[in-house]
Structure formats: C-alpha cells, structure tokens
C-alpha cells in the first residue's frame, strides 16, 4: 500500500508539474484529470494552496502553488492514514 501511495504521489507531482489540464464539473468545481480513471476535484482554494479530493476514494491532497513553484502531497491524520473527505 505504501509503495502504491508513493508511486501515485510521484505520478501526480509529475503530471501537475508538466501539464495544466483542468476543467469544471457540473457543480462548477475545478476538476483535474490525472489519468483516464483518476480524477481530482478542487474543494478548497486559496492564494497559495488548493485542497483536492480523489472522486472515488475521497482521499484528500494538498496542492501548493506560488509562482513557478508547485507541489502536491497526500493529507494524513495523526496516525499517518490518509484523510478522507466528508461532504457536509
């Protein structure tokens, strides 16, 4: 599982640093299609970071951006498990 998560994170970093492909879904949220079957939805936006959620697994990611610098990381709880997004 850890190996899969690391591969996914590095893949996402590579994709976001090379490609800026984003669109909007029916709710008006920005959607990032990383692969054909991997879609991340932006649920929170600020000047320097976005909170992205994987549509199927609800795992939360934070994407930092400042000028030409950017990065993405999975968000974890105090036990080291990925945070899951809860709709209100």
Residue 84, in any domain of the structure: no
3-state SS record for 6-75: HHHHHHHHHHHHHCCCEEECCCCCEEEEEECCEEEEEEEECCCEEEEEECCCCEEEEEEEECCEEEEEEC
Residue 27, in any domain of the structure: yes
Residue 87, in any domain of the structure: no
Could you give the 3-state DSSP secondary structure of residue 82?
strand
Residue 86, in any domain of the structure: no
Residue 82, in any domain of the structure: no
pLDDT bracket for residue 18 (50, 70, 90): very low
The answer to whether residues 55 and 40 touch, using CB atoms and an 8 Å cutoff, is yes
Q: What pLDDT, in 10s, does the model give residues 20-41?
A: 455 666 676 777 666 666 778 8
Q: What pLDDT, in 10s, does the model give residues 31-77?
A: 766 666 677 888 888 888 989 998 889 999 998 888 888 888 999 99
Residue 40, in any domain of the structure: yes
Residue 49, in any domain of the structure: yes
Number of domains into which the chain is organized: 1
Parent domain of 13: 2-74
Res 22: pLDDT: 59
Q: Which two tokens stand for residue 9?
A: 């994170």
Residue 15, in any domain of the structure: yes
Res 75: pLDDT: 94
């Amino acid at each position: 599982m850890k190996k899969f998560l690391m591969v996914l994170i590095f893949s996402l970093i590579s994709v976001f640093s090379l490609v800026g492909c984003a669109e909007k879904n029916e709710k008006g949220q920005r959607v990032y299609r990383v692969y054909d079957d991997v879609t991340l939805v932006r649920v929170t936006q600020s000047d320097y970071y976005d909170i992205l959620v994987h549509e199927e697994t609800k795992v939360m990611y934070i994407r930092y951006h400042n000028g030409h610098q950017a990065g993405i990381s999975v968000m974890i709880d105090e036990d080291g498990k990925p945070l899951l997004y809860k709709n209100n």
